[in-house]
Structure 1
Amino acid sequence: MNGTRDVPKRRGFGSRVLEKMVGQALLGRAELRLEPTAAVWSLEALHAHVVGTEA
């Protein structure tokens, strides 16, 4: 096995969660790219929205 795989032709529930729901919940933007050798997920959001505030 050479470490590559076929990239799926359609996106499922997990892809939607990682991109839309997480991005919206953190008031930012998330992107999931599926490549033959890796899944790459990126998140762009304000630090305060990701870590929250201390009580």
Structure 2
Amino acid sequence: MQHLRNTGAKRRPWHTPRHARAPFSEGERHVRRIEMLSDYERTGKLPQIPVHHPQQD
């Protein structure tokens, strides 16, 4: 990994981002997002854009 030594970057193969270490809040929004991701992983289809979303126009 020569390029890492040249840039001064450190290799941390087991690094977990801080947000991923936080306990799961089980909030309604988070549960809904996880369900969306699970559906996408299972079907390969993206969820519909909500009607009120700016990209819907």
Give the TM interval when normalised to the shorter protein: under 0.3
Structure showing the higher strand proportion among its residues: 1
Structure showing the higher helix proportion among its residues: 2
Task: Give the number of the structure whose alpha-carbon radius of gyration is greater.
Answer: 2
